[in-house]
Amino acid sequence: MIKLTNILKEALMDTSMFTYKMADSFTPSELKQLKASKKISDEVYNGAIEIQRSWKQSHPTMKIGHGAYRKEMTNFIDAGL
């Protein structure tokens, strides 16, 4: 049986500047790996994926990830948040 709290946690998303930078810095598969390894929260993952989806809808040929914040965010993640 799935608990309601698990469903609610999966539905929440963070839309902070941190999440925007994560969306700009990593590809969807990299974000998924960061979530699986508990380096980012479910909320940050959901927010970053939604930001990327909206970018992709607006700019279908846009390459997602590896943006201007990649080095900064990689260092931040490696430092353990």
Measured CA to CA, the distance from residue 81 to residue 61 in angstroms comes to 32
Q: Residue 48 burial (CB < 10 Å; 0-12/13-18/19+)? A: buried
Smallest CA-to-CA distance from 49 within 10, 5, 4, 2 is with: 10
CB 81 within 8 A of CB 50: no
Cα gap 27→48, rounded to integer Å:
10
Residue with tokens 């990649």: 70
Q: What is the mean pLDDT of residues 4-33?
A: 84
The reply to whether the predicted model has a pTM over 0.75 is yes
The answer to whether the CB of 48 falls within 8 A of the CB of 39 is: no
Q: Answer yes or no: is pLDDT of 18 > 80.
A: yes
pLDDT at position 68, please? 87
